[in-house]
Structures are given as C-alpha cells and as structure tokens.
Amino acid sequence: MADRIQEILSWYSSDNAGTKTNIARLLRSGRLGGTGKLVILPVDQGFEHGPARSFAPNPPGYNPLYHFQLAIEAGCNAYAAPLGFLEAGASHYAGQIPLILKLNNHDVLNDEKDPLPSVTGSVGDALRLGCSAVGFTIYPGSTHCHTMYEQLRAIAEEAKKGGLAVVVWSYPRGSGLSKEGETAMDVVAYAAQIAAQLGAHVIKVKLPTDHLEQAAAKKVYESAQVPIKTLAERVKHVIQSSFDGRRIVIFSGGAKSDDKNVFDEARAIRDGNGFGSIIGRNSFQRPKADAVKFLQTIMKIYAGETP
C-alpha cells in the first residue's frame, strides 16, 4: 500500500516537502488510508444552499461540531468546510482528521446564471487552523470563469509555498452551457483538464452522463470511438483527461439519492479507476449511526472488501 502512495506522490515532483506531506496525509488517513482511495466529507452546503435545505432533514447538522464527529467516526480521509464551520471545531479536534478549508463560496439568494463565488477565506486561515489543504470552486462555462481561474492561480501559488495541497471543485455551469451540458461527458472531462492545468493536486467533478454538449467535441468522440456507454467507461475517460491518471480525481455525491444508486456509482468509480468520492448531503442528511454505516459501505466498495 505504501508503494501506491509513493507512486501518487511522484506525480507531483514540482511540489515541496510540505505539500507532499499534506497530500500523503490525506491519502494515509482514515478507513482507506494507504489504499490510494479517498472518501471526504464536504459540508459547504449551509453557505451554498441555505441552512434549512441543508440541515433540517437531520437537525444535529446545524451544529458544526457534528460534522467533525461524523467524519472522524466514519473514518473519512478528510473533512472540508468553509471558514466558519472549521473555526468552530478545529481546535476541538486538532490532529484527529485532515481538514480542507473551502476558500470561496456562492449563495443562492441571488442565483445568477453566470456565478462568481466570493473568496471567503485565505491561505493564512488554512495554516492557522492546521489544514492540510485548501479548496476552491471554479465554474467553467460561466462568463466569469477567467476571474476564477486567475484567483485560483494566485491562491494555489500561495498555498503551495505554504506547504498546502490544493483541491479544486470544477463544476461546469453558466450561460454557455445547457443544463444537460453541465454533466455532459465532453464538458466534465474538459473541466477536469482545466483544473489539472491550473495546478490542482486533487480534482472534484460531477459524474458525467453520456450526453455530448459541444458539436466539435462530439465529432471527435464519435470518430475516435471513445468508449462512454457505461458510467465506469465515462469515469475512466475523466481520469484519462486528468493527465492520463496522474492527478487525483474524486467525484461528487450530489443531492440525496437512493442508497443503491450511490453504491452503484461507487462501484463504477472504482471500476473506472477513480480515486473516490466526496459525499455531503447523502451522508449528513441522515442520523449519524446511519451515516457512518453508509459511508463505511462506500469505503468497503473502494477497498475491494465488497463486490
């Protein structure tokens, strides 16, 4: 298992020892530590969607300490959240789980077609809170995407100098895309490539459908006969698009869904050589005991302990 972690670290040869140590910490923590797979708990939904929509289905979730406890008890590799939630609990749980500070966020009180998240935290905040990584969202397809790319470039440079890993949420969205196009095969693969080119160590994207959004890309997919019929094939293509598998790519859990569907998606991610999942609402919107069991089932799938 250690050989797998060393192989992954070799992909980041330009990074300093501090950053490599923090990437290794993400990969060596929790139930899946040492396997090269990740299950991360993200709880930015209170900011992104509102408190009731996020936490009313399971009221203990209003308490920021609850999410630290859930991530630790389930054996997650890391816990990701905005500044406020991490400040509320980082000292209580110092050293117990790697933390990822989400440095930009977007609310839906003014849910514009072309979103531009606000920068809501800093690399200094991440270092002060003992984080292993910073997280940043970009929206390829938004008319404001160039601003986000430039913000990320500056933040990634500062984070790497400080020895932190960089996790990029790359979510295609905006007036340049149809709703179906946000999860189209060609668009998701493009979004992963953009995040990799912007210096991400870990890339988070949504699971792609077999829809092809761009006419020029569709011609290439069809002429080159790129296999995208099954979800596992589509995952494999996203991994291929992320420097031929030389960047860590994890997939969003999305809105709360049927458990069987989530487990089937985890199997497809595993079979497509994906690196794991980042699952928020599907976990914290249920009682903690159920959430722990749910997350550990996903971990067993990634560990190869269950078919």
Average pLDDT over residues 281-295: 97
Angle at 250 between CA 297 and CA 41, to 5 degrees: 55
The structure tokens 């019929």 sit at 229
pLDDT in tens, 8-36: 999 999 999 999 999 999 999 999 999 99
pLDDT in tens, 30-39: 999 999 999 9
**Of 230, 184, 172, nearest in space to 211 by CA:** 184
- Pair of tokens at residue 198: 């912007």
Helix (H) or strand (E) holding 39: strand 38-42
Q: Is residue 254 scored above 80 in pLDDT? A: no
The reply to whether 256 belongs to the active site is: no
pLDDT at 85: 98
Rounded CA separation 235/248 (Å): 12
pLDDT at 307: 87
Average pLDDT over residues 150-175: 98
- Pair of tokens at residue 255: 């809105």
Q: Taking the model in full, what pTM does it have?
A: 0.97
- Pair of tokens at residue 184: 């189209």
Average pLDDT over residues 228-249: 98
pLDDT at 187: 98
pLDDT in tens, 74-114: 999 999 999 999 999 999 999 999 999 999 999 999 889 99
Average pLDDT over residues 236-261: 94
Taking all residues of the chain, what is their mean pLDDT, rounded to a whole number? 97
Query: In 64-81, which positions are buried (b, 16+ CB within 10 angstroms) versus exposed (e)?
Result: bebbbbbbbebbbbbbbb
Question: Collapsing DSSP states into helix, strand and coil, what is residue 20?
Answer: helix
Percent of the chain surpassing pLDDT 70:
99
Beta-carbon neighbour count of residue 1 at 10 Å? 12
pLDDT at 2: 62
**Looking at the DSSP assignment, which residues form a beta bridge with residue 101?**
81, 134
**Of 139, 147, 90, 134, nearest in space to 114 by CA:** 139
Average pLDDT over residues 271-286: 97
Average pLDDT over residues 43-68: 97
**Of 303, 228, 235, 227, nearest in space to 268 by CA:** 235
Which of 20, 37, 204, 236 is an active site residue? 204
pLDDT at 25: 98
